[in-house]
Amino acid sequence: MQKKWKWVISFIVLMMIGIGSWVVFQQKKTQQLEAQLAELTASSKRLQKKITAFQDAENPAFVSETMTREAADSVLQASRDALARTDQLKIAEHSRFAKQKQSLVKAFQDCQHQLATLKEKQLAATRVQELFNGQPLADKHFVPEAAVREQVTLADVKNLRTEAETLPDDAFRAVIDQALSSAELQVGTSEEIQQILSQTISDDSVVQSLPRVERDHLRELIGYIRNESLQEQFLVQLSMINQQSEPAEQQVVALTFDDGPNDSSTVKILDILKKYKVKATFFVLGSMAEKYPAVLKRINDDGHEIGNHSYAHSNLSVMTDKEIQKDITQTNELIAKHSGQQPGLLRPPYGAFNQKVVQAVPGMRLALWDIDTLDWQVRNGKKIVEKVEQHVKNGDIILMHDIHKTTANGVEPLIKMLIKKGYTFRTVSQL
């Protein structure tokens, strides 16, 4: 009997020791699990903080400029590792830690989804940048004036449009959609223009004239082109088409330049006129013709008209008959000597003339102007364009001075503006 009780007591003691050991083991296991969950929770917060830093502070729909692909990949890998460690945790379904594990799994999955979206947005922004010249995306907006690169095709834009459809419907997606819509319009318009021109111009010559309504449509299409180089190319061809249209349908102007030539701004103006195939009239001074004979010769060789503007910009109306005749004749001879062209037009300095000036050289016509740009006074190319645009009408003669750098800077935008308005260019004698 005593032996039996000893055995029972021994058994109870062993059970208590076993239970105690099990309790200690479970406590350690729980403590270890709590530590792991705490570390993973902290990791989740750190990852989320890094992801937040990858988003724009003002609008989280946009990617911060500080995010690099390497940094995003590093955070993405850390999130994957953390998710793998979370999945490896052995937690019973009904354990008090089960919900915490599920929350961590979702948190790390969300991190990966956010990072994938940010990388897609960064790639989309880069791809859109590649469609345009310059910076089409600025301050979380699309720049409407952004010009598509010449080599971009509609297929390029449509492929990017398809890729963008996977982006979330947010402010960033709206900006990307605006950029792609602009690219589609510009490229589609360019292709339509090129199709029209291919049927109209061949080997730098107009082979088929266009009716007024079709020229107006072509001019409207060119207005949608933001690529300056491409627009200039189209405007040159439109100018050629306008030149070959029916005279009754044409709106014409004459560009005229006084007081030259020189070897700087006059040369730049000649280059621009040649680029757009525009012929103008240069009223030159005899003293400048003597100083820059090579430039005067180029004016003639390029097909422009040369007129007489006196020898030294003197007021002819206060001179004697002989002085007037000598001044004009001397200038005519210098022009003929250095250019081979015999002037038929006289533009008296300051527009000052009387009967003596009119009768000084038989056979020469007086040529004044309709629009004085006052370029010598304003010294601003933009203001030259604005003044002409406000006042120009069919048949106008436009006065400028080719000796000013600011005038030379304004000639190209002036020509482009006039072509867009449907004007054709003539020399004064052709009006």
CA 30 to chain centre: 64
Q: CA angle, 209 as apex, 205 and 215 as ends, to 5°?
A: 110
Q: Note if the bond before 362 is cis, omega within 30 degrees.
A: no
Cα–Cα distance between 283 and 347 in angstroms, integer? 7
Please give the full DSSP string across 161-203, using - where no structure is assigned.
HHHHTTS-SSHHHHHHHHHHHHHHHHHHHHHHHHHHHHHHEET
Q: Is residue 372 flagged as an active site residue?
A: no
How many other C-beta atoms are found inside a 10 Å radius of the C-beta of residue 429? 13
Looking at 327, 401, 402, 404, which residue is catalytic?
Answer: 401
- Confirm if 316 and 349 have CB atoms less than 8 A apart: yes
Joined together, the tokens standing for residue 203 give: 């080997």
> Positive or negative, the Cα torsion across 379, 385, 388, 390?
negative
Cα–Cα distance between 21 and 264 in angstroms, integer? 100
Joined together, the tokens standing for residue 431 give: 């009006």
Q: Is residue 401 flagged as an active site residue?
A: yes
Looking at 258, 375, 396, 402, which residue is catalytic?
Answer: 258
115-141 b/e with 16+ CB inside 10 Å = b? bebbbbbbebbebbeebbeeebbeeee
Cα–Cα distance between 424 and 411 in angstroms, integer? 15
Active site members: 258, 401
